[in-house]
Amino acid sequence: MQSERLKRLPPYLFAEIDAKKRAMREKGVDIIDLSIGDPDIPTPKHVIEAFCEGAHDARNHRYPPYNGTQEFREAAVSYLKETKGVDLDPNSEALTLIGSKEGIAHAPLAFLDPGDVVLIPSPGYPVYTTASLLSGCVPYEMPLKKENGFLPDLGSIPKDVLKKAKLIFLNYPNNPTAAVATKDFFKDAVDFAKGNGLVLCHDAAYIDIVYDGYKAPSILEVPGAKDVAVEFYSLSKTYNMTGWRLGFAAGNKGLIESLGKLKTNIDSSATAAVQHGGAVAMTSSQDCVVNACKTYKNRRDVLVEALNKKGWNVVKPKATFYVWVEIPTKEDSRSFASKILEKTGVVVTPGLGFGSAGEGFIRFSVSYPTERIEEAVHRISSL
């Protein structure tokens, strides 16, 4: 049995890709998976040790506070102060999440009513659309075009759409395009949200995966952003903790309160020992993050340089562990990704999976071992 609501959702992009990978593996193909962004680098040792220490503490075997442990929320706020210069109150402006995906998926349900329009970047993280549909809202795709640096053209959104719009999702550094946004763009976005009565949800999952001296801003650095914005942080990508399920939301007090109220009715926060590990990750040396970025940068260079040698015209991204590649032939992204898989055993993500404006592109992730990326490059070179 399946609700009508659920029937309207496509299968989750990466679950669908998993099924294809399984089928190829069953045929004996040596699959090189460069599809999902899931760091192969282990979680830093000091974080694992903190988790183990937390797991041995019997106080952590009971329910954690609904809005997250005090230690974790304080660590989140101090990380934001330290890395972005943003001042927040740990008690009213930060909320533990069971991964940023959970917070993003619950945002439309917490903030909106059925029929409200949600402005969604296309291509974009599929959860923005599915969460909107699940809560009875109406997604409106804002195309991210190459000629605009993969930023949405906010001025081109029709007035009748804006009248019904209540929320805008943004995500920089961007998944899947790897584009970055300036603080000036964030200022325009905050003004736009204020001018149109929108909640601004900024997904900052990739904010710490940066290269070549680039530093990604938080939208909360914009004066007055807290009036309308909530930012979603993930420990998954920064500290190689995708399997731990830990993140936090930070920003507008009323939005944090609404999301927290919804969550008290649905879950009981992230495991306290996991929150202890996360708190230690955010408050200790960030050298592990710098070193992971060095590794991703080298892989990015290997991949981009090899694709360019093939004549594919790929730009080196300043952030994220994704490389967004325009398909050099007229093939659609699903056929092109399938061709790569069938001929080389390399799994890439078709751009269409991220929304209609992702058509014409494929995405590579460099969150896989360097030697596998080198092997993938070797196989693709002879395609």
* Minimal distance, residue 235 CB to ligand MLT, in Å: 12
- Rule CB under 6 A: which of 90-129 touch ligand MLT? 101
Piece of 3-11, 31-39, 78-86, 225-233 that binds ligand MLT (CB under 6 A): 31-39
- How many residues bind to ligand MLT according to rule CB under 6 A? 6
CB within 8 Å of 299: residues ≥ 6 apart: 321, 366, 368, 370, 373
Output the smallest distance, CB 37 to ligand MLT, in A.
3
Q: Does 18 bind ligand MLT (CB under 6 A)?
A: no
Pairing assessment for the beta strands 199-203 and 165-170 based on DSSP bridges: parallel
d(CA 216, CA 318): 9
Binding flags for ligand MLT, 38-77, as an x/- string (CB under 6 A): x---------------------------------------
Contact flag: residue 350 with ligand MLT (CB under 6 A):
no
Residue 175 in the binding site for ligand MLT (CB under 6 A):
yes
Joined together, the tokens standing for residue 171 give 């995500």
Report how far residue 88's alpha carbon sits from residue 187's, in angstroms, rounded to the nearest whole number: 19
| Contact window for ligand MLT (CB under 6 A) among 33-41, 113-121, 192-200, 214-222 | 33-41
Q: Under the criterion CB under 6 A, does residue 247 sit at the interface with ligand MLT?
A: no
Give the separation between CA 357 and CA 292, rounded to whole angstroms: 31
Burial of 204 (0-12, 13-18, 19+ CB in 10 A): buried
* Span interacting with ligand MLT, options 32-40, 67-75, 220-228, 265-273, rule CB under 6 A: 32-40
What amino acid occupies position 58?
A
| Residue with Cβ nearer ligand MLT (185 or 364) | 364
Residue 257: is it exposed, middle or buried by C-beta count within 10 angstroms (0-12/13-18/19+)?
middle
Q: Give the interface segment with ligand MLT, choosing from 34-42, 84-92, 148-156, 311-319 (CB under 6 A).
A: 34-42
State CA 273 to chain mean position distance.
24
> What does the binding site for ligand MLT look like in residue numbers (CB under 6 A)?
14, 36-38, 101, 175
